[in-house]
């Protein structure tokens, strides 16, 4: 009986073993993507730049979830809570303490790391769907906590906080949007490289060992408790930085911005991008930003239903998300070059 | 002689025509992005999906109304191109959609975006871009702030002035009341609460015996009502949205609690609140309104209501006529049409704001008799009048005079 239950909870659907090499893009492809991300803003309107900034920010949040789920095999539907804590940390430090926006980000990251690490402790006892539910509770509670009278002086309560958008420094003749985009891009690349290295390192191997087989991992001498909470902490920390950037880009934080819908969107982005495939994060992020707009374009009254159909098609046709598409594309490219 | 005279006459006449037409072209027709000889682009943001999607009907009604205006020749010959996007009531999405409207679709104004958090999120942006944030669909008090935000203007009476009217009524008629309050724990509920406490002034602390709050996600509020009854309150201020308001009215009568009941106008609809709650349970409840409730029998032969019904028959037949939001949307769309008409051929953003801030005693078919739209350079709260009403039989009986309470942001 208990063995059967154990099976159900430890079996992690959609998270299959991903070899280390397959977690990243090749050097050539990475450079092409990087060049596209660097050059694109020079040719488009500010509005598109803003959308691209949001793309990177949600991409970071999806990446964070990917480390947690794809890396260490733990589920979380509570990422919106970490995102909210990061956003509020940045907003409060900027607006109430007049701190420079760039300095608030590491603080948001550290606070969220601590928050995630602490939350990871009780989460140790749970796995699979039970863990997903526990984190779900966190996501549901967060908007209400932000509304509490007790914090209202700092959080602005239900009215939220308006954040001032930073100008480009050093007298650069660049629009605020473009500056913020490049600022975000640098941070995103930094975090991406760090994440790749993390997963390739000893800790990363420990994460994956836990994901693949917890008992075997502990038999090998991996401190399961430590690495599980660590994965939570790292994931929360990155989400917090994304949240802080999001607050600066949107110029506003309010409890309604960080509801369970956001957590589900991020989860969706991870699945669509390919669980455990870090570059897929940005594809997943594009999905959660642009596909609702497309759905709305198709039918205003039924935008939710259209979105559902599109999502269903993606899951049905490419269950492993963007990773699958990338692998197929690579194989086809390989055939072409051989010929 | 005669010929030269004629020639001179013709020449001077031609000159005069030329002068008139050229000066007309130069001095009168002025456009900002989003307006041209043939069209006016109006942007709008609505929660068509998400938790507040019930309000999406406002956008749909407005779309239908502008179709009617276009079919009848448009505004001074220009068609309204109404571009409405979904933000799912999520502020980051609102920012994205507002930027899309302004920078990609290049609209002249952003009209009637819905909700306090979404509007707060885009207020700073629209003001820095000098794009009118016209007639926002929220009753928060802060939109009436022309000094700080000259490009943002409200529309409906704000929550605080409404609850101040109730507070004044209580102070006058029940100075020794023990008041119990139930409010929704969000910006809307807290705004009402604040106005109410401000209205009671120094006596608030001694008069209010219990404040209960509920979350919009709760399935029922029965336990709160029981608690309020046991607090011994004899006046009940009910700050709830329609579903909960109906529950509260029903529960009150179930447990035999008969306080003097004040119901916020958000939930004064007969069709969606009073009827489901049971008319016999709702007798003598006091509320207030500025719109004509389409489900109220007293307006059956009213001219404004007839025009509304004709419009819906032709352009939006599937509309739910019991929904006060349809009436709201119709009225605010008329407000926009009034402003754009007043702009004449000077369709610049600055002139739109100027005209929006100089409405004098405008009466619209959907407003209660005596309620007028008024704005000025220092008054960005277009509708600030309400009338108290008491529920009798199966209809609201209005009583007392039209009250106004302007609260600045």
pLDDT over 60 (residue B1): no
Per residue in A284-304, pLDDT (tens digit) is: 999 888 888 888 888 776 777
Pair of tokens at residue A13: 């659907």
Q: Does B215 lie at the interface with A, CB-CB under 8 angstroms?
A: yes
pLDDT of residue A303: 74
Can you tell me which residue has the tokens 């009617």? B68
Nearest to B131 by CA among B153, B102, B93: B102
* Neighboring chain B residues of A49 at a CB cutoff of 8 Å: none
CA of B288 vs chain A CAs: smallest distance (Å): 25
The reply to whether residue A46 touches residue B124, judged by beta carbons under 8 angstroms, is no
pLDDT of residue A134: 85
Q: Does B316 lie at the interface with A, CB-CB under 8 angstroms?
A: no
Domain count, chain A: 1
Can you tell me which residue has the tokens 């447990």? B255
The reply to whether residue B48 touches residue A157, judged by beta carbons under 8 angstroms, is no
Query: In this predicted model, which residue has the larger pLDDT, B315 or B24?
Result: B315
User: CA A80 to CA B20: how far, in whole Å?
Assistant: 63
Question: What is the rounded average pLDDT of the residues B359-375?
Answer: 91
Q: Which of B51, B100, B186 sits opposite A47 (nearest CB)?
A: B100
Nearest to B97 by CA among B107, B88, B87: B87
CA of A301 vs chain B CAs: smallest distance (Å): 7
Contacts of B81 by beta carbon, 8 Å cutoff, 6+ apart: B39, B40, B41, B42
User: CA B74 to CA B40: how far, in whole Å?
Assistant: 9
* CA separation, residue B36 to residues B33, B165, B221 (Å): 8, 44, 52
The reply to whether residue B120 touches residue A304, judged by beta carbons under 8 angstroms, is no
pLDDT of residue B262: 94
pLDDT of residue A191: 93
Contacts of B73 by beta carbon, 8 Å cutoff, 6+ apart: none
Per residue in A109-118, pLDDT (tens digit) is: 999 999 998 8
- A161 occurs within a structural domain: yes
* Neighboring chain B residues of A261 at a CB cutoff of 8 Å: 50, 88, 90
- A215 occurs within a structural domain: yes
User: CA A184 to CA A307: how far, in whole Å?
Assistant: 28
The reply to whether residue A251 touches residue B121, judged by beta carbons under 8 angstroms, is yes
User: CA A202 to CA A204: how far, in whole Å?
Assistant: 5
User: CA A274 to CA A281: how far, in whole Å?
Assistant: 8
- A60 occurs within a structural domain: yes
pLDDT of residue B409: 41
User: CA B141 to CA A268: how far, in whole Å?
Assistant: 37
For A247-279, the DSSP string reads HHHHTEE-GGGGSHHHHHHHHHHHHHH-TT-TT
User: CA A140 to CA B46: how far, in whole Å?
Assistant: 24
Q: pLDDT-derived band of residue B181, with 50, 70 and 90 as boundaries?
A: very high
* Neighboring chain A residues of B85 at a CB cutoff of 8 Å: 296
* Neighboring chain B residues of A258 at a CB cutoff of 8 Å: none
For CA atoms B326, B328, B332, B337, give the dihedral sign. Answer: positive
pLDDT of residue A280: 86
Bridge partners, residue B392, by sequence: B395
Per residue in B19-62, pLDDT (tens digit) is: 444 444 445 688 888 899 999 999 999 988 877 777 888 999 99
Strand order in the sheet with B39-46: B79-86, B39-46, B109-111, B133-134
- A14 occurs within a structural domain: no
pLDDT of residue A159: 75
Structural contact between residues B159 and B187, judged by C-beta atoms closer than 8 angstroms: no
The reply to whether residue A252 touches residue B187, judged by beta carbons under 8 angstroms, is no
Average pLDDT per 10 consecutive residues for chain A, totaling 339 residues: 43 50 69 85 85 93 91 87 93 88 91 90 78 86 80 76 79 81 93 90 89 87 87 92 92 86 89 86 90 81 80 85 81 75
Q: Which of A46, A257, A296 sits opposite B85 (nearest CB)?
A: A296
* Neighboring chain B residues of A255 at a CB cutoff of 8 Å: 117
pLDDT of residue B236: 94
The reply to whether residue B84 touches residue A300, judged by beta carbons under 8 angstroms, is yes
User: CA B387 to CA B379: how far, in whole Å?
Assistant: 20
The reply to whether residue B117 touches residue A147, judged by beta carbons under 8 angstroms, is no
Question: What is the rounded average pLDDT of the residues B137-158?
Answer: 90
- A3 occurs within a structural domain: no
Question: What is the rounded average pLDDT of the residues B166-189?
Answer: 90
The phi, psi pair for A19, rounded to 5°, reads: -65, 150
A63 CB-side CA count, 13 A: 31
Lowest mean pLDDT among A166-170, B140-144, B338-342: A166-170
* Neighboring chain A residues of B88 at a CB cutoff of 8 Å: 261, 292
Q: Which of B60, B102, B121 sits opposite A252 (nearest CB)?
A: B121
Chain B 74-93, residues with CB within 8 Å of chain A CB atoms: 84-86, 88-92
Contacts of A27 by beta carbon, 8 Å cutoff, 6+ apart: none
For CA atoms B156, B158, B161, B166, give the dihedral sign. Answer: positive
CATH of the domain at A116: 1.10.3470
pLDDT of residue B405: 67
Nearest to B292 by CA among B148, B180, B379, B389: B389
Q: Does B116 lie at the interface with A, CB-CB under 8 angstroms?
A: yes
The reply to whether residue A261 touches residue B95, judged by beta carbons under 8 angstroms, is no
Nearest to B160 by CA among B123, B215, B198: B198
Q: Does B145 lie at the interface with A, CB-CB under 8 angstroms?
A: no
- A124 occurs within a structural domain: yes
User: CA A318 to CA A324: how far, in whole Å?
Assistant: 6
* Neighboring chain B residues of A57 at a CB cutoff of 8 Å: none
CA of A185 vs chain B CAs: smallest distance (Å): 19
Pair of tokens at residue B193: 């609460």
Q: pLDDT-derived band of residue B8, with 50, 70 and 90 as boundaries?
A: low
The ipTM, to two decimals, is: 0.77
Q: What is the mean pLDDT of chain B?
A: 87
pLDDT over 90 (residue B127): yes
- A163 occurs within a structural domain: yes
Q: Which of A47, A157, A256 sits opposite B103 (nearest CB)?
A: A47
Pair of tokens at residue A181: 């985009």
Per residue in B220-274, pLDDT (tens digit) is: 889 999 999 999 999 999 999 888 999 999 999 999 999 999 999 888 888 888 8
pLDDT of residue A244: 93
What angle, rounded to 10 degrees, do the helices at A128-147 and A260-273 form?
140
Give the range of the structural domain holding residue A58, as residue numbers without chain letter.
Answer: 19-338
Provide the pairing of β-strand B235-239 with B260-263. parallel
User: CA A160 to CA A171: how far, in whole Å?
Assistant: 31
* CA separation, residue B367 to residues A4, B334, B374, B385 (Å): 66, 11, 13, 10
Q: Which of B96, B117, B121 sits opposite A51 (nearest CB)?
A: B96
Question: What is the rounded average pLDDT of the residues B333-338?
Answer: 94
Q: Does B257 lie at the interface with A, CB-CB under 8 angstroms?
A: no
For A165-216, the DSSP string reads PPPPSTT----HHHHHHHHHHHHHHHHHHHHHHHHHSHHHHHHHHHHH-HHH
User: CA A75 to CA B39: how far, in whole Å?
Assistant: 51
Can you tell me which residue has the tokens 């490219």? A333
CA of A220 vs chain B CAs: smallest distance (Å): 46
Pair of tokens at residue B377: 């350079």
Contacts of A1 by beta carbon, 8 Å cutoff, 6+ apart: none
Q: Which of B84, B91, B103 sits opposite A252 (nearest CB)?
A: B91
Structural contact between residues A206 and A31, judged by C-beta atoms closer than 8 angstroms: no
- A92 occurs within a structural domain: yes
3-state helix, strand, coil in chain B (%, to 5): 45, 20, 35
* CB atoms inside a 10 Å sphere around CB A53: 25
A263, with CB counted inside 10 A (0-12, 13-18, 19+), is: buried
SS3 state of residue B180: strand
Can you tell me which residue has the tokens 């119709």? B330
The reply to whether residue A250 touches residue B91, judged by beta carbons under 8 angstroms, is yes
């Amino acid at each position: 009986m208990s063995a059967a239950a154990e099976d159900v909870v430890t079996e992690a659907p959609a998270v299959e073993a991903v070899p280390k090499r397959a977690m990243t893009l090749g050097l050539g492809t990475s450079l092409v993507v990087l060049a596209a991300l660097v050059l694109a803003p020079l040719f488009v309107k500010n509005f598109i730049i803003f959308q691209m900034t949001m793309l990177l920010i949600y991409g970071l949040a999806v990446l964070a979830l990917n480390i947690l789920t794809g890396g260490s095999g733990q589920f979380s539907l509570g990422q919106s809570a970490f995102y909210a804590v990061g956003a509020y940390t940045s907003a409060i430090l900027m607006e109430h303490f007049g701190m420079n926006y760039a300095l608030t980000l590491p603080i948001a990251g550290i606070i969220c790391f601590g928050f995630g690490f602490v939350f990871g402790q009780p989460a140790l006892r749970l796995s699979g769907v039970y863990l997903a539910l526990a984190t779900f509770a966190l996501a549901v509670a967060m908007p209400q906590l932000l509304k509490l009278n007790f914090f209202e002086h700092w959080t602005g309560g239900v009215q939220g906080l308006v954040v001032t958008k930073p100008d480009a420094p050093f007298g650069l003749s660049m629009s605020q949007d473009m500056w913020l985009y490049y600022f975000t891009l640098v941070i995103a690349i930094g975090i991406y490289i760090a994440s790749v290295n993390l997963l390739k390192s000893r800790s990363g191997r420990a994460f994956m060992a836990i994901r693949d087989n917890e008992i075997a991992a502990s038999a090998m001498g991996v401190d399961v408790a430590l690495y599980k909470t660590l994965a939570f902490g790292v994931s929360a920390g990155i989400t917090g930085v994304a949240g802080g950037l999001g607050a600066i880009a949107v110029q506003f934080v309010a409890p309604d911005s960080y509801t369970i819908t956001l957590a589900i969107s991020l989860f969706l982005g991870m699945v669509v991008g390919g669980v455990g495939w870090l570059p897929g994060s940005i594809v997943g992020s594009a999905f959660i930003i642009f596909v609702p707009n497309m759905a709305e374009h198709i039918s205003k009254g039924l935008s939710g239903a259209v979105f559902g159909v599109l999502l269903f098609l993606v899951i049905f046709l490419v269950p492993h998300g963007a990773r699958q598409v990338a692998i197929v594309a690579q194989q086809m490219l390989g055939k072409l070059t051989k010929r | 002689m005669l010929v030269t005279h004629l020639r001179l006459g013709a020449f001077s006449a031609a000159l005069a025509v030329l002068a008139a037409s050229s000066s007309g072209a130069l001095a009168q027709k002025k456009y900002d992005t989003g307006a041209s000889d043939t069209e006016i682009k109006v942007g709008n943001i609505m929660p068509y999906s998400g938790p507040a999607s019930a309000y999406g009907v406002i956008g749909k009604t407005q779309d239908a109304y502008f179709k009617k205006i276009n079919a009848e020749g448009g505004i001074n010959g220009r068609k309204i191109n109404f571009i409405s996007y979904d933000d799912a009531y999520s502020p980051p999405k609102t920012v994205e959609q507002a930027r899309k409207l302004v920078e990609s679709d290049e609209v002249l104004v952003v009209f009637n975006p819905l909700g306090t958090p979404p509007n707060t999120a885009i207020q700073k942006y629209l003001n820095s871009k000098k794009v009118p944030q016209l007639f926002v669909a929220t009753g928060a008090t802060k939109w009436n702030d022309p000094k700080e935000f000259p490009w943002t203007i409200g529309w409906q009476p704000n929550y605080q002035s409404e609850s101040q009217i109730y507070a004044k009524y209580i102070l006058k008629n029940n100075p020794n009341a023990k008041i119990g309050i139930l409010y929704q724990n969000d910006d809307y509920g807290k705004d009402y609460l604040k106005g109410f406490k401000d209205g009671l002034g120094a006596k608030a602390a001694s008069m209010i015996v219990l404040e209960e709050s509920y979350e919009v996600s709760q399935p029922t509020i029965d336990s709160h009502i029981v608690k309020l009854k046991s607090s011994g309150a004899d006046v009940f201020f009910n700050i709830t949205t329609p579903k909960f308001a109906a529950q509260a009215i029903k529960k009150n009568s179930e447990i035999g609690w008969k306080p003097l009941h004040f119901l916020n106008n958000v939930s004064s609809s007969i069709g969606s609140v009073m009827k489901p709650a049971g008319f016999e349970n709702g007798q003598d409840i006091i509320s207030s309104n500025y719109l004509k409730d389409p489900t109220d029998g007293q307006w059956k032969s009213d001219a404004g209501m007839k025009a509304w019904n004709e419009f819906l028959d032709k352009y939006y037949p599937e509309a739910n006529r019991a929904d006060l939001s349809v009436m709201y949307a119709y009225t605010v769309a008329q407000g926009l049409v009034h402003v754009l008409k007043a702009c004449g051929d000077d369709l610049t953003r600055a002139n739109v704001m100027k005209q929006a801030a100089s409405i004098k005693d405008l009466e619209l078919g959907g407003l209660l008799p005596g309620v007028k739209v008024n704005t000025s350079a220092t008054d960005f709260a277009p509708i600030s009048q309400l009338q108290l009403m008491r529920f009798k039989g199966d209809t609201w009986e209005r009583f007392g005079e039209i009250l106004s309470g302007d609260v600045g942001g």
